[in-house]
Structure 1
Amino acid sequence: MTGPLEGIRVVEFCGGAPTAQAGQVLADFGADVVGVEPPGGSPLRAHPVYAMWGRGKRSVVLDLGDECDRAVALRLVDGADVVLEGFRPDVAERLGVGYEELARRNPRLVHAAITGWGRSSPYAGVAGYEALVMAKLGVFHSYGRMSSRPGPSFISTPYAAYSATQTALTGVLAALYERETSGLGQRVETDLALAAAGLDPWNQMLHMLTERFPDAFQNKPTYDENLVPSMSLTIRLLVAVTSDGHWLQFSQVQPRLFLALVEEAGLAWMLEDPEWSTLPEFEDPDHRRRFIEKLMEAIRQKSLAEWQEVFDRNPNVFAEVFRQGTELLHHPQLVHAGQRVGLTDPERGDTLQPAPAVWMSGTPTGVRGPAPLLDADGERLRATAAATSPAAGPPSGPPPSGLPLEGLIILELGTFYAGPYGATVLTDLGARVVKVEPLDGDPMRMLVAFPEAGAAKVLQGKESIAVDIGSPEGQEVVRELASRSHVVLCSFRAGVAERLGVDAASLLRLNPELMYLDAPGYGTDGPYGHRPAFAPTISAGSGIAMRNFGPPLAPERSMAMSIGDARLSSVFLSVGANSGGTQPDGLAALTVGTALALAAFVRARGGGGQRMLTTMLLSAAHALSETVVEFAEPVERPQVDQEAYGYGALYRLYETAEGWVFLAAPTEADWCRLAAAVGEASLAGDPRFRDAESRAAHEDELAEVLATAFHARGARQWEKELIAAGVGCVVSEEQPMEAMYLGAFGQQAGMVVETGSPIFDTYPRIGPLVGFSRSRTRALGGCTLGEHTVPILEEIGWSPDRIAGLRDKGVIGR
């Protein structure tokens, strides 16, 4: 069997991480990906993760500044279906490989550009480093509680880069789907700032409420000034350490689940004690602190193995282990599901890597081979280019400008965020998404004090039908809808869909051309398939939290902590797991968006009738690939410093006379511009800093010199001066992420649009996460529970009497 993108040819102009990872995913999907590398090779080759990001590709070295080499590149593009590039705006045009030129030569070409800030942003010309984007969006300040020092904290999980990778892939696949009918390619654009802003599935609406009703709603910090939780939900999401030094992330969010933990911890007596009987709800912060410490002390009475026995025995109690780095590849669920691949890299030897992010039953994804040596395919690709004929001209008639996914019908079975938000992204591109909800609604509708606010963003663009799918009549409704759909998205835990009769096997019998995507937290079977998967759970189990936290927490160190120190460490880990708009729900959802777009394209090419799978855990593995890939021999990877400033002196946070900035000057060219701009006369000529090797040897001294220099002026002045000098430096904004992207910054970048809702009237929202040169997009509002139940049933031909009968029986909502 061939891969889902067999026959699709991709030219990747090697650039930054998002472009490289997008090329890797397309190669995993079966595309023939050619990496066009500059003389000396892609800078990413110096990083261990290239063993994964380069896998399955071919390599050719071409100097785009050389006329002959550029001609080879253009001929390769003439025979391609997709181009991936990550140049800053207008650079590709200066090199002679801009979209207009490539599209003129190859009208069927889908050209995907990933920039740092977007073409219309005031920051368009600034280097698109991940940390600059995150600092400007206010993300580092939202992680401030992760460190004992004041100010923002650097985090290393590449939320923006991975999000841009997935939004670009969604756009590419949507454009290929549209090309099946139009015969035309087009430009696809996304950027790190927009993609990172789109990562958040619900804070957008909460921020809107605080702006609209400031007297009734306020943003309450998760922890107070003494690092005590401000709300009971944080206590239910307890982080605690075992007797043998392993950290656990509990997810006892429902009252019955929390009571089950209290009982297993031996604290049931508290329920009868007037002092503690309201647990975990306490008005007094010190009361909350003392309760948390008692609960943590009780958790500490058992080892990890003893707690694992509890989890196996009592389905109402579960916690994930906080993993670090390559430990994720040994997670029991990934091992069970075969979601790991062994590859022998030609330069780094044996490796263990995450399997492709999406599994397919009929056109299987897979890894074609290891990353190529530099220019390994140069001779053959030059010959191919020489023999490539010019592409045919465009079809006659005006080019279509409709929605790229117009006509695609997705049936959504699932609750909460990670799976469903992936379908939301596709509504902006024209997909019709019918969400099947229980009669009392998706639980996220009532998750916060203002009804519907917790669900409004995930419901944008969807139609809601309220059905009791536990009843035979309700299951008949779902089956009828599935028979008319192109794709089903199911995010239930293992066994639930089968119990309800809406599993892949059942629905594929009704609709043999259906694409059925399972998108659970862990899997559809296996040791963790039935476990709950909340955002903090996956953060802990995948290693996101520990990566953000910084230096490893060794078991020996954790075992020796006092209960007070353990509580502070639990706060730091909790913040590292899930802060602001950055969390695994969004990472997984954007991967689901890619999987759904892949399903649409494969079906359109005649590959319908398949089962598909992607999970939150596997999505996190791909997002964390820089630290997850395992090598036979130890490799050096960047390590965040103890104080969470960043990676060394030239990629870190600095306090200024007023506020904080993030400096990103990792290259030699960056250093030369920085040394000239900072104004320290001795900086450029100091022998300690004369070259990269010397600077690395005197890292702490360089950081001290720069810290002193930055204190001379305020953050906004430094941003202005250093950007003008061509140095990557931005203010680390103190506003919440959602305030930044909905405010002046987002508006100037063209991120924000106005839409309407039956609940919230007109409100601002993030616009589509990917743009097209020809196809239009849209930005709709949400829906109320069951708003479309009757119209949908009427559409499929059910009579008013039949519909009324279902309502009377309680099968559908009123």
Structure 2
Amino acid sequence: MLSGVKVVEICGIGPGPFCAMHLADLGANVIAVERSVQEPAGPGYVMNRGKRSVVADLKTAEGRNLVLKLIEGADALIEGMRPGVMERLGLGPDVLQARNPRLVYGRMTGWGQDGPLAHAAGHDNNYISLSGALYYTGTEGEVPISPITAIGDIGGGALYLAIGVLAGIMNARETGKGTVVDAAIVDGSAHLLSLLLATKRKGLIVGPRGKNVHDGSHFFSTYRCKDDEYITLGSLEPQFYALLLQKLELDPAAFPQWDRERWPEMREQFAGIFAGRTRADWCALLDGTDVCFGPVLSPEEAATHPHMKARGVYFERDGRLEAMPAPRFDGTAMPAGAVPVRGQHTEQIVNALSRGDAAKVWAAE
């Protein structure tokens, strides 16, 4: 789908590489510029799948010149340094866009390019705690638990950068002018709350953590089973809740759905019920029904679930589990590209650059 889109990635950690991998998954031609360090034994870094890898020391004139030559034929560059680092290397947006005015310069950070915290260190959980995205995770009396990388690095970071870069490329193709995309995890993870904030007007969020439908009710919750595994319920709509009570053989009069005062009591009763059978038992009873039910599975377990197997969501390569590219187009998933070892394409690309052969620079092996 993104055939013909050319991206240079200045490799960092976390959301930047994921963003570039996602673009490669969707067909973009991505050249990853990695640090020249020894590649450990074994397969390459899975976040580099579908990319070609070159090594360069950006603190040297040779390394900087490599990037300058690469971006001349690129649609976009992605970097995940702290604000000001690329400028100090002589590779900031002004320099690169002077060489290629159509270049979209994608910047991935936690705090953003400006603001009081812009230059501070941080990680996924710090960003989503500040943005408000962590607040409603967990239940009353429990500490909020960060869904590691999902809300911040990936949801609020990498995916927003990908959307921003693609929007910038569309604009550049229309206007001939590139742009600088400031993708901050605090911005993206706050924007992810838009649906949650909208539900306040519907009365589903009426108070602090533990007092709302998703974190305080008995019908939208996670429960421990007899075998110490877990299941989830999301029986929000009245018809789904009625079916849940029917499946559990409970009297609807004894379990009024919207009696908020009784939610803690009913939640405790539900906890006792679900603790009486194993996760497999509950799957046999509730899986595939309109109760809105799901077992809590590890990624390895998820890969073997009949639904996930039928869709081919996971696959194994070199002894490790990977997820297939998403989304699908016309019912078909994009193929997962090969994972290069660090620097695998350095010679090929450097030689093509030295000859001024732009077609070979961006030609796949």
Q: Which interval holds the TM-score relative to the shorter structure?
A: 0.7 to 0.9
Give the paired residue count.
Answer: 356
Match for residue 321 of structure 2 among 352, 361, 367: 352
Deviation at 1:326, TM superposition (A): 2.9
* CA–CA separation in structure 2 for the residues paired with 1:201 and 1:33: 32
1:237 partnered with 2:198: no
Give the counterpart letter for 1:100 in structure 2.
Answer: D
Moved more, 129-138 or 189-198: 129-138
Moved more, 294-303 or 191-200: 294-303
2:304 corresponds to which residue? 330
1:220 corresponds to which residue? 207
1:127 partnered with 2:121: yes
2:353 corresponds to which residue? 385
Percentage of identical aligned residues? 25
1:160 partnered with 2:152: yes
1:76 corresponds to which residue? 70
Could you report, residue by residue, the CA deviation over 1:129-184 in whole angstroms, capped at 9, with x for unpaired residues? 32332333355554474775xx6655524412112111111111112222333233
Query: Secondary structure of the equivalent of 1:326?
Result: helix
1:373 corresponds to which residue? 341
* CA–CA separation in structure 2 for the residues paired with 1:107 and 1:76: 14
Structure 1: 5+ residue stretches without partners: 210-215, 345-349, 391-814
- Alignment TM-score, normalising by the size of structure 1: 0.40
1:697 corresponds to which residue? none
1:178 partnered with 2:146: no
Q: Compared with structure 1, are the counterparts of its residues 52 and 147 closer, same or farther at alpha carbon in structure 2 (3 Å cutoff)?
A: farther
1:102 partnered with 2:79: no
* CA–CA separation in structure 2 for the residues paired with 1:264 and 1:362: 34
Give the counterpart letter for 1:279 in structure 2.
Answer: P
* CA–CA separation in structure 1 for the residues paired with 2:267 and 2:109: 45
Query: Secondary structure of the equivalent of 2:49?
Result: coil
Query: Secondary structure of the equivalent of 1:235?
Result: coil
Match for residue 249 of structure 1 among 223, 232, 245: 232
Give the counterpart letter for 1:159 in structure 2.
Answer: I
1:190 partnered with 2:183: yes
* CA–CA separation in structure 2 for the residues paired with 1:217 and 1:24: 37
Q: Compared with structure 1, are the counterparts of its residues 231 and 16 closer, same or farther at alpha carbon in structure 2 (3 Å cutoff)?
A: closer
Query: Secondary structure of the equivalent of 2:58?
Result: coil
Q: Compared with structure 1, are the counterparts of its residues 73 and 362 closer, same or farther at alpha carbon in structure 2 (3 Å cutoff)?
A: farther
Could you report, residue by residue, the CA deviation over 1:246-274 in whole angstroms, capped at 9, with x for unpaired residues? 32111211223222222221222x63xxx
Q: Compared with structure 1, are the counterparts of its residues 387 and 9 closer, same or farther at alpha carbon in structure 2 (3 Å cutoff)?
A: farther
- Alignment TM-score, normalising by the size of structure 2: 0.84
* CA–CA separation in structure 1 for the residues paired with 2:160 and 2:26: 16
Query: Secondary structure of the equivalent of 2:194?
Result: coil
Contact 2:11 2:80 in 1 (8 A): yes
Query: Secondary structure of the equivalent of 1:63?
Result: coil
Could you report, residue by residue, the CA deviation over 1:710-741 in whole angstroms, capped at 9, with x for unpaired residues? xxxxxxxxxxxxxxxxxxxxxxxxxxxxxxxx
Match for residue 39 of structure 1 among 36, 39, 42: 36
1:136 corresponds to which residue? 130
* CA–CA separation in structure 1 for the residues paired with 2:94 and 2:179: 10
Could you report, residue by residue, the CA deviation over 1:732-771 in whole angstroms, capped at 9, with x for unpaired residues? xxxxxxxxxxxxxxxxxxxxxxxxxxxxxxxxxxxxxxxx
Deviation at 1:369, TM superposition (A): 0.6
Structure 2: 5+ residue stretches without partners: 359-365
Deviation at 1:317, TM superposition (A): 2.6
Match for residue 263 of structure 1 among 240, 243, 246: 246
Contact 1:260 1:316 in 2 (8 A): yes
Give the counterpart letter for 2:314 in structure 1.
Answer: R
1:339 partnered with 2:332: no
Deviation at 1:307, TM superposition (A): 3.0
Deviation at 1:95, TM superposition (A): 0.4
* CA–CA separation in structure 1 for the residues paired with 2:292 and 2:137: 26
* CA–CA separation in structure 2 for the residues paired with 1:49 and 1:133: 31
Could you report, residue by residue, the CA deviation over 1:52-89 in whole angstroms, capped at 9, with x for unpaired residues? 21111111111111112211221112122221111222
Deviation at 1:111, TM superposition (A): 1.6
1:291 partnered with 2:266: yes
Deviation at 1:321, TM superposition (A): 0.3
Query: Secondary structure of the equivalent of 1:185?
Result: coil
Give the counterpart letter for 1:175 in structure 2.
Answer: G
Give the counterpart letter for 1:17 in structure 2.
Answer: G
Q: Compared with structure 1, are the counterparts of its residues 37 and 305 closer, same or farther at alpha carbon in structure 2 (3 Å cutoff)?
A: closer
Give the counterpart letter for 2:23 in structure 1.
Answer: L
Deviation at 1:218, TM superposition (A): 9.2
Could you report, residue by residue, the CA deviation over 1:442-492 in whole angstroms, capped at 9, with x for unpaired residues? xxxxxxxxxxxxxxxxxxxxxxxxxxxxxxxxxxxxxxxxxxxxxxxxxxx
Q: Compared with structure 1, are the counterparts of its residues 123 and 355 closer, same or farther at alpha carbon in structure 2 (3 Å cutoff)?
A: same
Deviation at 1:98, TM superposition (A): 0.9
**Which entry has the higher C-alpha Rg, 1 or 2?**
1
**For the aligned residues, what is the CA RMSD?**
3.3
Give the counterpart letter for 1:310 in structure 2.
Answer: L
Contact 1:86 1:115 in 2 (8 A): yes
* CA–CA separation in structure 2 for the residues paired with 1:389 and 1:177: 26
Q: Compared with structure 1, are the counterparts of its residues 300 and 32 closer, same or farther at alpha carbon in structure 2 (3 Å cutoff)?
A: same
Give the counterpart letter for 2:344 in structure 1.
Answer: A
Contact 1:128 1:192 in 2 (8 A): no
Q: Compared with structure 1, are the counterparts of its residues 362 and 172 closer, same or farther at alpha carbon in structure 2 (3 Å cutoff)?
A: farther
Could you report, residue by residue, the CA deviation over 1:275-325 in whole angstroms, capped at 9, with x for unpaired residues? x3x6234464xx544433333333344444443343368x44341001124
Could you report, residue by residue, the CA deviation over 1:691-718 in whole angstroms, capped at 9, with x for unpaired residues? xxxxxxxxxxxxxxxxxxxxxxxxxxxx
Could you report, residue by residue, the CA deviation over 1:21-52 in whole angstroms, capped at 9, with x for unpaired residues? 111011112222111112316xxx88x99742
2:106 corresponds to which residue? 112
Give the counterpart letter for 2:355 in structure 1.
Answer: A
Q: Compared with structure 1, are the counterparts of its residues 55 and 147 closer, same or farther at alpha carbon in structure 2 (3 Å cutoff)?
A: farther
Contact 2:135 2:209 in 1 (8 A): no
Deviation at 1:383, TM superposition (A): 0.9
Query: Secondary structure of the equivalent of 1:202?
Result: helix
